[in-house]
Amino acid sequence: MTYLILIFFLLLLMLAAAVYSIVQKDLLYAVIATGVISLVLTVLFYLLQAPDVALTEAAIGVALTTIIFIITIRNTVRHEDDYNKKDDLKSAIE
Amino acid sequence: MKKFIVILMLAALGFYLGQTFYELGFGNARFEHGVKDSYLEKTVSDLHVANTVTSIVVNFRGFDTLGEVTVLFLAVTALGGILYKKRHQTGARSVLFSSSSIVRSGSKLLFPAIILLGVYVFVHGHLSPGGGFQGGTIVATGFLLMLLAYKDFSVSHNVLSFVESFAGIFFVLFGLAGFIGGGTFLENFMPVGTMNDLFSGGIIPIVYILVGFKVAAELTGLIYTVLHEKD
Amino acid sequence: MDDKLFEIMQFGIYTASILLILIGLYAALTKKSLIKIIIGLSIVDAGIHLMLVAIGYVKMGTAPIFSPGFEDAAAKMVDPVPQALVLTAIVIGFAVTAVALSLVIRLYRHHHTLEIDEIKNLKW
């Protein structure tokens, strides 16, 4: 019975993180929510008796995907509604 | 208007998928004696390997692993080609200021432990859960930690290219040596020992060690290329 | 009681994986910023991997690793073939995401914006 409550709680957490990551406009928070999805997926793979797949998802989905996204966000925009950054800077100086 | 149409199409797709999976059932054994049973038998009797997923990935479906290693190599090459900069234009590292002293001393302590864990995971791939891909990514994560904590830590690009090419060529050479030993590409021609030994399973530990080195070198190179991309 | 619990769990995991695929597809089809589209594709990957591993589960099964002394326990193990397929799929999904994000960096340097409507309007 507690096993079942644990699995339902994990599935609800995963779906809430997925909805949050596509609704949120600040891209850094959306990327961290994608990392939470991969983390819950690792625990679910372990509960479905698949330890090799859980190791691979933990190493690739949580660590490497998040860092690649964060470096991209650093080199491009931070908010989803950022239009021409060059024009904004020019009008702010004038 | 467009969102409404998209939601309708996705609801129809979800309904169709849900009906298929409801009929499929969860947790039933579907066939009397299918592929799963013959693989599980042959792993113990023919190959003397304890981890079934390792024996499927390296031996029974080994050609797909060669394809996956090729796709990873092509992806890293394409990334290096897209973010191309001439030699005098290479920017400084994306990390602008050095981190605090807790991060610096902690990462100096953790770095050898992470490398040791990664090497243990890909050497013992045929005895316990693990293998080449898992161990290679753990080693790459260790290098990422050192690259983020110190401003002047660098890995020489030539060493990474050399290790990666060496491991890839030797994987294909082992496959071609299967023609001489047995009859087919990637055949298991070395002697299988007893189960649960370190040197059991023929060419399976050797191939997985080569794959582990290749994946670790590739992912370190990928992270190094992306981190040095700055205006 | 055990059978009812099992039916609820069956509904739970399959429904969650189908919902993940639908949420990711909605983000890939409707959003305007390029990075949101790539996040949506990454969520679709996660849903598909969960669905594949959940198909291979056997009731009260155990992990497909043999221990010394229990070499004939092959009848009680879960299916190892979908696990081998998902192992390859996770690595390839990450490689595709990395190449797509490098293209996004290159596009931003050229057009200075990341909305797909603006990029369609600019000719050069």
CA-based R_g, chain C, Å: 21
pLDDT recorded at residue C56 = 87
- Residue contact C43–A34, C-beta within 8 A: yes
Q: How far apart are alpha carbons A68 and C112 in whole angstroms?
A: 20
Residue A93: pLDDT band with limits 50, 70, 90: low
Nearest CB to B229: which of A60, A64, A75? A75
The closest of A32, A39, A81 to A59, measured between CA atoms, is A39
Encoding tokens for residue A94?
A: 């004038």
Could you tell me if B205 and B135 are in contact, meaning their C-beta atoms sit under 8 angstroms apart?
no
DSSP classification of residue B44: I
Residue of chain B with shortest Cα separation from C20: B14
Nearest CB to B50: which of C6, C65, C91? C65
- Best A9, A28, A48 member to test C by mutation, with max C CBs in 10 Å, is A48
Q: Which amino acid, C114?
A: L
Query: Looking at the predicted structure, is the pLDDT value of residue A45 above 80?
Result: yes
pLDDT recorded at residue B197 = 78
Assess B140–A contact: CB distance below 8 Å, yes or no. Answer: yes
Nearest CB to A64: which of B51, B137, B230? B137
CB–CB contacts below 8 A, B to C: 118
- Residue contact B27–C29, C-beta within 8 A: no
- Best A1, A7, A56 member to test C by mutation, with max C CBs in 10 Å, is A56
Which residue ranges make up each domain of chain B? 2-227
- Residue contact A11–C83, C-beta within 8 A: no
pLDDT recorded at residue B86 = 64
Here the ipTM equals: 0.88
Residue of chain C with shortest Cα separation from B38: C74
For the entire predicted model, the pTM comes to 0.90
The closest of B122, B102, B139 to B57, measured between CA atoms, is B122
Nearest CB to A50: which of C13, C33, C53? C53
Residues of chain A with pLDDT > 70, as a percent, come to 86
Domains and CATH numbers, chain C: 2-62+75-121 (1.10.287.3510)
Query: Looking at the predicted structure, is the pLDDT value of residue A78 above 60?
Result: yes
Listed in sequence order, the residues at least 6 apart from B24 whose beta carbon sits closer than 8 Å to its beta carbon are C55
Instruction: Report the half-sphere exposure of C8 (CA within 13 A, side-chain side).
Output: 13
CB–CB contacts below 8 A, A to C: 130
- Residue contact C66–B195, C-beta within 8 A: yes
- Residue contact A45–C13, C-beta within 8 A: no
Average pLDDT, chain C: 88
Query: Looking at the predicted structure, is the pLDDT value of residue A89 above 60?
Result: no
Residue of chain C with shortest Cα separation from B49: C66
pLDDT in tens, C19-70: 999 999 999 999 989 999 999 999 999 999 999 999 888 888 888 988 887 8
Residue A24: pLDDT band with limits 50, 70, 90: very high
- Residue contact C23–A50, C-beta within 8 A: no
Q: How far apart are alpha carbons C9 and C15 in whole angstroms?
A: 10
pLDDT recorded at residue B101 = 87
* Residue C119 burial by Cβ neighbours in a 10 Å radius (0-12, 13-18, 19+): middle
pLDDT recorded at residue B93 = 66
Average pLDDT, chain A: 87
pLDDT higher for A41 or B182? Answer: A41
Residues of A with CB under 8 A from a CB of B: 51-52, 55-56, 59-60, 63-64, 67-68, 71, 74-75
Residues of B within 8 A of C103 (CB-CB) are 82
- Residue contact C50–A50, C-beta within 8 A: no
Could you tell me if A34 and C35 are in contact, meaning their C-beta atoms sit under 8 angstroms apart?
no
Residue of chain C with shortest Cα separation from B133: C91
Query: Looking at the predicted structure, is the pLDDT value of residue A33 above 60?
Result: yes
Domains and CATH numbers, chain A: 2-93 (1.20.120.1200)
Provide the β-strand partners of residue A79: A26
Q: How far apart are alpha carbons C89 and C45 in whole angstroms?
A: 9
* Residue B32 burial by Cβ neighbours in a 10 Å radius (0-12, 13-18, 19+): exposed
Assess B191–C contact: CB distance below 8 Å, yes or no. Answer: no
Query: Looking at the predicted structure, is the pLDDT value of residue A86 above 80?
Result: no
pLDDT recorded at residue A6 = 86
Residues of B within 8 A of A59 (CB-CB) are 134, 137-138, 141
Residue B95: pLDDT band with limits 50, 70, 90: low
Residue of chain C with shortest Cα separation from B75: C95
Assess C8–B contact: CB distance below 8 Å, yes or no. Answer: no
Nearest CB to C88: which of B64, B75, B78? B64
DSSP classification of residue C78: P
pLDDT higher for B187 or B211? Answer: B211
pLDDT recorded at residue B87 = 58
CB-based contacts of B22-27 (< 8 A; 24+ apart in sequence): B22/C14, B24/C55, B25/C10, B26/C6, B26/C9, B26/C10, B26/C13, B26/C14, B26/C54, B26/C57, B27/C6, B27/C10, B27/C57, B27/C58, B27/C59
pLDDT recorded at residue B92 = 63
Nearest CB to B131: which of A52, A60, A75? A52
